[in-house]
Amino acid sequence: MNIYVGNLSWQTTEEQLKSLFEAYGEVSAVTIIKDKFTGSSRGFGFVEMPSNPEGQAAIQALNESEFDGRSLKVNVARPKEPREGGGRPDRRRNDRRGGRY
């Protein structure tokens, strides 16, 4: 079960988060999402627990609980949605507007 953990303190480490969830069962992976430019925490992460009953117990116990001075938001992670567009426009395109899109 993949679990979303939000409202993390920027000082929270993956090891601290793993220890918190291990009280409810086996933890197979922990990832705190970091800014790709600064490397600092973005304030949320994911915990992977192989057992659904243990994952549900962790969610019920830890959602809205205080950890590292913050009230956690804990729930089942939604699948990552595909991102549309983004990227740069096709620069090979000959546009009459002087290359501006």
User: When comparing pLDDT for 90 and 44, which is higher?
Assistant: 44
pLDDT tens per residue across span 15-68: 999 999 999 999 999 999 999 999 999 999 999 999 999 999 999 999 999 999
Task: Output the CA–CA distances (angstroms, integers) from residue 20 to 5, 37, 51, 76, in the order listed.
Answer: 11, 28, 16, 16
pTM of this prediction? 0.79
Q: How far apart are CA 33 and CA 25, in angstroms?
A: 22
| Sequence spans of domains, the chain | 2-76
Q: Which CATH architecture has domain 2-76?
A: 2-Layer Sandwich (3.30)
